Amino acid sequence: MTNTQVPNAQDDPNTQNPNAQVPAVRSRPATPPPAVAVRPSVRDRGARLLAALFLAPTVVGIVVFTVVPIIGSIVLSLFHWNVIDPPRFAGGANYRTTFTDSTVLVSFRNTLLFMVLAVALQLLIALALALAVNGRMPVWLRSVFRSAFFFPLVLSAASISVVMKYLFNQDFGVVNWLIGLVGVAPVPWLTSEHAAMATVILVYVWQQFGFSFLLFVGGLNNIPKEIHEAAALDGATGLRKHLGITLPLLSPTLLVASVVGIINALQVFEQPYVLTDGGPGDATRTVVMVIYERAFEQLDFGEASAVGVLLFALIMAVTAVQFRLSRRFVHYQ
């Protein structure tokens, strides 16, 4: 009898052992589907076309009335041109004349002085009035103050200057009549060197502060009330609260108001032209007045363009300095 040996399950490689560890099977990463170019839908194309149509008038206006005149002024500053004769190339002669002309240099000095005093006074008055209006008062009274302070801005600067010229007249002006009631001698508001510049600044600020006022009112309304309430619980009140909380949170609005105010002040023309005609002497003559006189009175458009290019460079430089300093002093929420 032959003994048949039964193979052991452990010796049979085909027999599965339930206790044996099955090696993990690595799954191949799924291959991403090929990228399919997504074509914009008709609705997206229509929205883009509509946006372009809405932006087109503004873009065309900026190009036609800002970019083209700037390029034209730069080119014209390199020529001698009196409108009658053909232009003659001058190179840098107009700029050399500008830097040696005492009237031009005085006008730049007056403009810078006017800018510093007018913008500082404008921002100070606008901020003080905005804080006062934003305080506790009825809503209707707040609306009255907003309209009253903004109203001079919608009027023509020339018409306001004509009225103010009569009010500040030394002989029959209302201002001298009022101060005469308290025994003060008549003041030469428009014929004295220092008083004339002060009068021009006061008239300019009276008309322009309404814009900064509305900016500050909007900025104050955007400051969360919870911050002021928390500061009040910590004991911050009055001037301490405004210096430590209100001004830092209002710094973006201050930046916008100062940039717009400085750009407008550097281009002042109507007030000094109507009130004093640049006098007495050259005490109130500004850069834009010099550009007007060179171009439309002396018909020297090349030199007028050179002065305009220098004013444009000054505006760009001052604005760049402001934005550079804003990185340190402007705080965003």
DSSP per position, 163-176: HHHHHT-TTT-HHH
Quickly state the pLDDT bin for 190 (edges 50, 70, 90): very high
Q: Name the average pLDDT for the chain.
A: 85
Q: Model confidence over 136-186: pLDDT tens digits?
A: 778 888 888 888 998 998 899 999 999 999 999 998 899 999 999 998 899
pLDDT at 136: 76
The total of other beta-carbon atoms located within 10 Å of residue 58's CB is 9
Quickly state the pLDDT bin for 107 (edges 50, 70, 90): very high
pLDDT at 3: 47
pLDDT at 30: 57
CA distance 309 to 76: 10
What's the chain's Rg over C-alpha atoms?
36
Higher per-residue confidence, 26 vs 123: 123
Answer yes or no: is pLDDT of 7 > 60.
Answer: no
Q: Model confidence over 253-276: pLDDT tens digits?
A: 999 999 999 999 999 999 999 999
Q: Are 190 and 276 in contact (CB under 8 A)?
A: yes
Type of residue numbered 53? L
Answer yes or no: is pLDDT of 226 > 80.
Answer: no
Q: Model confidence over 18-60: pLDDT tens digits?
A: 454 545 445 555 565 555 455 667 778 888 899 999 999 999 9
Percent of the chain with pLDDT over 90: 59
User: Residue 326's closest CA among 266, 231, 262?
Assistant: 262
Quickly state the pLDDT bin for 315 (edges 50, 70, 90): very high
